C-alpha cells in the first residue's frame, strides 16, 4: 500500500495526541477555561490549510509524496517549537484589560499553536484534492489514525506527562516523513532519521526548559513563593497532574471556628493541575488533632452515633480524619482520581496516619455517582467534600466545567441512599450574594419535593467566616437535634442560617453582613411557591443543574452585563473580570476568522458544473463539521456516569466513533449517501431515549465489559457518521474538483465553531438539545446536497 496513506495515518494520530496534550498542558498552565479557548482557536489551522490549498494551487502541483514529506517533517518540527513558544510567551490573562501588550502575546499564542494544525491539514487535504476516487481510503486512514492518537495520548500522559506527550506526537510526524522518504531520497531518509533520533533522546530525558510554566495566580504557584517552600512530588495520569508541596503557606482548615486557639498540625498541600489545593494533614500518633472538632463538618457527628459514612472526593483525607475521630462504624471513600489515592495512601501513608489504610475505610476509585448507581447500600451520613478551591462567583472562569456530583439527579440518589435517620452534608464556599450554598439548597429542595416531603422540615444550615454547611435529613429534624445544632453553633461561634422555625433574630450574629443575606435567601427559596420565578429574579443563576446541564459553577445571567462591564479591568480576575463573556468573545473571534478563511478562496474559485454548486458545497460540508462534534461532545458526557470516569468516556467514545467512522468511510463507495444520512439522523434522535435503558441494563457489569459494551453501542452510529464526508468529496470531485480544498477548509472551520457552539448550547439548553441539533444538521445537509447527488446519478446513467 502507498506510504501516502500511512503518512496520513501517523500525522492524524500525532495531531490528536498533540491536541489532547495541549488541553492538559494549558489546564495546568492557565486553567481549564484557557485550555478550551486556546485549543479551539488553534484548530482553525485546519481551516486555514484548506484556504491555502484553494488560493495557492501550486501547493497541489508538486510531486505529492515530496510535498507530503515536507509537510510531515515541518509538522514534526513545529510541535515542540510551538509548544515552547506558547510556554514562554509572558501572557497574563489578569492583565489583558490594562496591558495592551497582552493582546499581542495572545495573538502570538494562537498563531504559534495554529501552525502544527495547518501543516497537518495540508498533509491530509492535499491527497484529498489530488487522489481522485480515493476519498474513502484517505478518510479511513485519517479517522483510524485519530482513534489511535486518542489512546496514545491517554496512555502517554500517564507515562511521560504532558511535555513528553508533545515529543511523542512529534515522533509520529517524523515517522510519516520517513515512510514518505523511503526508497526515494537518501538525504530525506537521513533528515527523517536525525529528527526521529533527536526526539527519542529528548523523550528519554526531557530538558528543564520543557517544563510547563504555570500561571503565578494558581494555588501551587502561590504556595511555592513562600520562603522554604519546596515541591516534593509531581506525577501525571491521563487526566491530571498531581503535585505535593511543602510550604509555610499551606494551612487549610475550611471554616475553622475562631474558638480554636491551638496550632494546626503540619500540613502538606496536594494540588490537581496546580489548582484545588487540599491539605494532606500529619496524623502520626503524637499529633494533636483536636482542631478537627472545631470544623463545621464535625457537626453531624453530634447528631449520629457510630454512623456508616460515605465521603465523596476525600482528597487529602481531612474529612476522613474527622470521621475516624468520631467513632464511625464504616467509611466508604469514593475518590475519582486514583492518582490522588495513590499519593495519599501509598506514598504519604505514614505521614497521613494511614487514613486510607484504616480497617474501617473502603476506598473506591470512580466518580461517586457511578458508585451509588451500582450499590444498594444505605448510609447514615453522605458527605460532599469541599474539594475545590475558592473561586469568585463573578469570574465565570469555570462555567464550562461539568460536575455530576451537584445535579438534581445526584441529590435524588443521595436521598435514596440515606438510612431512615440519615443526613446528607454539603460544604460549600461562602459567596456574596449567596450562590454556591444557595444552589446546593436549591438542589436539595428539588430532591425533597420529588420525594413528596416538606423541605423546610428536613433542612438545617450554618456558616463560618468562609463556608456554608448544609444538612439534609431523611426524617424531620427533632427538637433535640435542633437544639444540638444551636449549641454547636454557639460553642463554635458559627452563624445559624436555617433550621425549622428559626427566627430572623438568631441570624447574622457572629460574622456580620450588612443584612442576613443567607437567612433571607434560604427563607425566600423555601417559601417560594413558584421556584422558577425565584430563580429568574435572583441576581445570579442559582437554579438546580441537571445531568443534562451539569454546570454547577455556571452562575451567569444576562442581568449581570452592566456590572461586569463597569468592573472590567478593575478587579483581580482572569480577563479583568469579564468571565463568562470571554466565551462569547471566543465564539465571535472564531466566527470572524472562519468567515475570512471560507470567503477568501471564493474569488479564486470559478463556478464549475452549474449554478449553485458553491452554496451547496459550502452548506453541506459546514453542516457536516457542525454535526460530527455535536454528536461527539454530548455522547462523551452521557457515558461518564456509565463508565465511572471522564477519561474512560473520552477514550471509549472517541475510539468507537473515529474507528467505526473510518470503517464506514472505507465502505462508503458501495453505500447510498441519501439513505445513509436518513438512517444516521434517525439514529441520533433515537440514542437519547435508548441509552438510559441500555445503561440501566448493563450497569452491573465490570469496567472491562462496560467499556466493550460502550464501543459496541456506538459502533453503528460511528459507522454511519463515516459516510457523508467521503461521499460528499467524491460527488464534489466529479462536479467541481477545484472546490475540494475549499470543502476541506470549510469542514475544518465548522469543527472549530461546533466545539464552541456545543459547549455554549450545553450551558443554555443541555446536551440533549445539542445532540438533537446534530441530527438536524445532518438532515438539512442532505436536503441541501441532494440536487448534486441526483445530478451525479443522472450523469452516470
pLDDT of 574:
45
Greatest mean pLDDT among 20-34, 208-222, 393-407? 208-222
Of the three residues 520, 553, 586, the one that is the final residue of a domain is 553
With respect to residue 624, please indicate whether it lies within any of the assigned structural domains. Answer: yes
pLDDT for residue 610 = 54
- State the CATH number of the domain containing residue 416: 3.40.50.150
Judge residue 66's burial from the number of C-beta atoms within 10 Å of its C-beta, 0-12 exposed, 13-18 middle, 19 or more buried. Answer: middle
Residue 38 has pLDDT above 70, yes or no: no
For the chain, the average pLDDT equals 89
764 pLDDT above the threshold of 50: yes
Q: Is pLDDT above 90 for 14?
A: yes
**The three three-digit cell numbers of residue 619, written as one number:** 452548506
Q: ∠ CA(736), CA(742), CA(746), 5° rounding?
A: 125
Higher pLDDT, 374 or 719: 719
Mean pLDDT of 306-328: 95
- 10 Å CB burial of residue 794 (0-12, 13-18, 19+) is exposed
- Top-ranked range on mean pLDDT: pick from 90-99, 689-698, 720-729: 720-729
Point out the least confidently predicted range of 31-45, 70-84, 376-390, 615-629: 31-45
**Quick one: which of 288, 361, 350 has its CA closest to 320?**
361
252 and 203 share one domain: no
Band of pLDDT at residue 614, cut at 50, 70 and 90: confident
Confidence bin at 572 (pLDDT 50/70/90): very low
Query: Looking at residues 389-415, what average pLDDT do you find?
Result: 78
Between 586 and 251, the more confident residue is 251
pLDDT given for residue 607 in this prediction: 56
| 101 confidence band (pLDDT: 50, 70, 90) | confident
Tell me the C-alpha distance between 223 and 226, whole Å.
Answer: 6
Residue carrying the nine cell digits 470543502: 743
State the Cα torsion 37-80-10-156 to the nearest 10°: -80
Residue 573 resides in a domain: no
Label residue 131 exposed, middle or buried (CB < 10 Å: 0-12, 13-18, 19+). Answer: middle
Q: Are residues 360 and 473 in the same domain?
A: yes
- Please state the domain count of the chain: 4
In this structure, are 546 and 412 located in the same domain? yes
**Model pLDDT, residue 755:** 83
Examine the domain organization and report whether 680 and 610 are in the same domain. Answer: yes
Q: Tell whether 598 is covered by a domain.
A: no
Give the pLDDT confidence score for residue 795 in this predicted structure.
Answer: 47
Residues 6+ apart with CB under 8 A from 449: 455
pLDDT, position 175? 97
Domain identity same for 494 and 626:
no
Residues 6 or more apart whose Cβ sits within 8 Å of residue 16: 145, 146, 149, 150, 153
599 in a structural domain: no
Does residue 606 have a pLDDT over 80? Answer: no
SS (H, E, C) 110-160: HHHHHHHHHHHHHHHHHHHHHCCCCHHHHHHHHHHHHHHHHHHHHHHHHHH
- 479: in domain: yes
Most confident of 51-55, 409-413, 742-746: 409-413
Q: What string of DSSP letters covers 479-531? A: HHHHHHHHHHHHHHT-EEEE-TT--GGGBSSSS--SS-HHHHHHHHHHH-S-H
Instruction: Give the pLDDT score at 564.
Output: 61
Within-domain flag for 562? no
Q: Are residues 299 and 270 in the same domain?
A: no
Which pLDDT value is given to residue 578? Answer: 47
Q: What percent of the chain has pLDDT over 90?
A: 65
Q: Is 427 helix (H, G, I), strand (E, B) or coil?
A: strand
Residues whose CB falls within 8 Å of the CB of residue 539, separated by 6 or more in sequence, listed in order: 433, 557, 559, 560
409 and 309 both lie in a single domain: yes
The residue with cell 472505507 is 666
- Span 334-348, average pLDDT: 94
Domain-located, residue 203: yes
Q: State whether 160 and 303 are in the same domain.
A: no
Provide the grid cell at 229. 517552600
523 and 502, same structural domain? yes
Of the pLDDT bands very low, low, confident and very high (cuts 50, 70, 90), residue 410 is very high
**How large is the average pLDDT for residues 59-67?**
82
CB 555 within 8 A of CB 398: no
273 dihedral zone (left: phi>0; alpha: psi -120 to 50; beta): left
The per-residue pLDDT for range 177-210, each reduced to its tens digit, is: 999 998 778 999 999 999 999 999 999 999 999 9
Lowest-confidence segment of 34-43, 378-387, 435-444 by average pLDDT: 34-43
Tell me, yes or no, whether 161 lies in a domain: yes
- Residues 277 and 392 grouped into a single domain: no
Domain boundary among 182, 214, 246: 214
Q: What is the CATH number of the domain that holds 82?
A: 1.20.1250
> Do 270 and 481 form a contact (C-beta atoms < 8 A)?
no
Query: What pLDDT does 68 receive?
Result: 94
The answer to whether residues 478 and 352 belong to one domain is: yes
- The pLDDT value recorded for residue 56 is 83
Higher pLDDT, 470 or 752: 470
Q: What is the pLDDT of residue 510?
A: 92
Judge whether residue 727 has pLDDT over 70. Answer: yes
* Final residue in a domain of this structure, among 214, 249, 264: 214
**Residue 525 confidence (pLDDT) above 60:** yes
146 shares a domain with 251: no
- State how far the Cα of 777 lies from the Cα of 619, in Å rounded to an integer: 10
- Site of grid cell 484548506: 50
CB contact burial 438-471 (16+ within 10 A = b; e otherwise): bbbbbbbbbbbeeeeeebbebbbbbbbeebbbbb
Q: Which three cell numbers stand for residue 694?
A: 441500555
- 109: containing domain: 1-214
The pTM of the full predicted model, rounded to 2 decimals, is: 0.91
Amino acid at each position: 500500500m502507498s506510504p501516502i496513506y500511512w503518512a496520513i495515518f501517523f500525522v492524524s494520530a500525532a495531531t490528536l495526541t498533540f491536541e489532547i496534550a495541549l488541553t492538559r498542558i494549558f489546564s495546568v498552565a492557565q486553567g481549564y477555561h484557557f485550555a478550551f479557548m486556546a485549543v479551539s482557536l488553534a484548530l482553525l489551522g485546519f481551516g486555514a490549510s484548506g484556504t491555502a490549498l484553494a488560493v495557492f494551487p501550486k501547493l497541489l502541483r508538486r510531486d505529492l509524496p515530496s510535498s507530503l514529506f515536507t509537510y510531515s517533517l515541518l509538522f514534526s518540527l513545529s510541535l515542540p517549537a510551538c509548544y515552547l513558544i506558547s510556554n514562554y510567551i509572558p501572557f497574563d490573562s489578569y492583565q489583558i484589560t490594562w496591558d495592551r501588550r497582552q493582546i499581542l502575546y495572545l495573538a502570538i499564542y494562537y498563531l504559534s499553536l495554529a501552525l502544527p494544525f495547518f501543516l497537518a491539514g495540508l498533509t491530509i487535504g492535499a491527497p484529498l484534492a489530488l487522489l481522485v476516487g480515493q476519498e474513502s481510503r484517505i478518510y479511513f486512514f485519517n479517522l483510524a489514525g485519530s482513534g489511535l492518537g486518542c489512546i496514545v495520548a491517554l496512555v502517554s500522559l500517564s507515562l511521560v506527562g504532558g511535555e513528553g506527550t508533545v515529543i511523542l506526537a512529534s515522533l509520529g510526524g517524523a515517522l510519516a516523513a520517513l515512510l514518505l522518504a523511503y526508497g526515494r531520497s537518501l538525504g530525506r531518509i537521513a533528515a527523517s532519521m536525525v529528527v526521529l533520533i533527536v526526539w527519542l533522546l529528548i523523550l528519554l530525558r526531557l530538558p528543564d526548559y520543557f517544563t510547563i510554566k504555570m500561571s503565578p495566580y494558581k494555588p501551587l504557584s502561590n504556595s511555592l513563593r513562600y520562603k522554604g517552600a519546596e515541591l516534593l512530588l509531581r506525577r501525571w495520569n491521563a487526566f491530571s497532574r498531581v503535585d505535593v508541596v511543602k510550604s509555610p503557606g499551606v494551612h487549610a482548615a475550611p471554616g475553622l471556628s475562631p474558638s480554636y486557639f491551638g496550632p494546626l498540625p503540619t500540613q502538606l498541600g496536594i494540588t490537581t493541575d496546580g489548582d484545588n489545593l487540599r491539605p494532606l494533614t500529619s496524623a502520626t500518633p503524637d499529633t494533636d488533632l483536636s482542631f478537627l472538632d472545631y470544623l463545621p463538618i464535625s457537626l453531624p457527628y453530634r447528631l449520629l452515633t457510630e454512623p456508616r459514612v460515605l465521603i465523596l472526593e476525600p482528597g487529602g483525607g481531612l474529612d476522613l480524619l474527622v470521621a475516624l475521630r468520631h467513632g464511625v462504624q464504616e467509611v466508604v471513600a469514593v475518590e475519582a482520581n486514583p492518582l490522588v489515592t495513590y499519593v495519599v495512601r501509598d506514598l504519604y501513608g505514614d505521614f497521613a496516619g494511614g487514613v486510607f489504610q484504616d480497617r474501617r475505610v473502603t476506598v473506591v476509585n470512580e466518580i461517586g455517582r457511578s458508585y451509588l448507581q451500582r450499590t444498594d447500600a444505605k448510609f447514615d451520613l453522605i458527605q460532599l467534600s469541599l474539594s475545590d478551591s475558592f473561586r469568585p462567583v463573578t469570574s465565570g472562569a469555570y462555567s464550562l466545567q461539568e460536575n455530576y456530583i451537584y445535579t438534581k439527579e445526584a441529590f435524588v440518589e443521595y436521598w435514596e441512599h440515606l438510612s431512615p435517620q440519615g443526613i446528607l452534608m454539603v460544604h460549600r464556599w461562602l459567596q456574596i450574594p449567596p450562590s454556591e450554598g444557595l444552589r446546593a439548597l436549591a438542589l436539595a429542595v428539588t430532591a425533597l419535593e420529588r420525594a413528596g416531603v416538606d423541605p423546610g422540615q428536613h433542612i438545617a444550615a450554618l456558616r463560618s467566616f468562609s463556608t456554608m454547611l448544609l444538612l439534609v435529613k431523611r426524617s424531620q429534624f427533632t427538637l433535640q437535634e435542633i437544639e444540638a445544632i444551636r449549641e454547636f453553633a454557639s460553642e463554635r461561634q458559627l452563624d445559624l442560617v436555617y433550621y425549622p422555625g428559626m427566627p430572623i433574630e438568631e441570624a447574622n450574629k457572629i460574622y456580620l453582613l450588612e443584612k442576613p443575606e443567607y437567612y433571607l435567601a434560604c427563607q425566600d427559596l423555601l417559601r417560594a411557591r413558584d421556584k422558577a420565578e425565584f430563580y429568574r429574579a435572583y441576581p445570579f443563576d442559582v437554579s438546580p443543574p441537571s445531568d443534562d446541564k451539569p454546570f454547577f459553577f455556571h452562575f451567569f445571567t444576562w442581568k449581570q452585563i452592566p456590572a461586569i462591564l463597569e468592573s472590567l479591568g478593575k478587579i483581580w480576575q482572569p480577563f479583568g473580570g469579564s468571565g463568562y463573556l470571554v466565551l462569547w468573545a471566543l465564539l465571535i473571534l472564531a466566527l470572524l476568522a472562519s468567515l475570512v478563511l471560507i470567503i477568501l478562496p471564493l474569488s479564486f474559485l470559478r463556478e464549475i458544473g452549474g449554478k449553485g454548486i458553491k452554496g451547496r458545497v459550502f452548506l453541506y460540508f459546514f453542516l457536516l463539521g457542525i454535526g460530527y462534534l455535536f454528536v461527539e461532545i454530548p455522547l462523551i458526557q452521557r457515558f461518564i456516569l456509565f463508565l465511572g470516569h471522564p477519561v474512560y468516556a473520552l477514550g471509549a467514545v472517541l475510539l468507537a466513533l473515529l474507528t467505526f467512522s473510518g470503517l464506514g468511510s472505507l465502505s462508503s463507495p458501495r453505500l447510498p449517501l441519501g439513505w445513509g444520512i436518513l438512517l444516521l439522523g434517525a439514529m441520533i434522535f433515537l440514542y437519547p431515549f435508548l441509552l438510559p435503558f441500555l445503561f440501566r441494563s448493563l450497569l452491573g457489569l465490570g469496567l472491562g465489559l462496560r467499556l466493550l459494551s460502550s464501543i459496541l453501542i456506538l459502533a453503528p452510529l460511528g459507522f454511519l457518521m463515516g459516510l457523508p464526508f467521503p461521499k460528499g468529496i467524491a460527488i464534489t470531485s466529479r462536479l467541481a474538483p477545484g472546490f475540494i480544498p475549499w470543502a476541506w477548509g470549510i469542514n475544518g472551520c465548522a469543527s472549530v465553531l461546533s466545539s464552541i457552539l456545543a459547549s455554549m448550547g450545553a450551558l443554555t439548553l443541555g446536551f440533549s438539545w445539542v445532540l438533537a441539533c446534530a441530527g438536524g444538521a445532518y438532515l438539512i445537509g442532505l436536503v441541501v446536497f441532494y440536487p448534486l447527488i441526483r445530478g451525479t446519478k443522472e450523469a452516470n446513467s
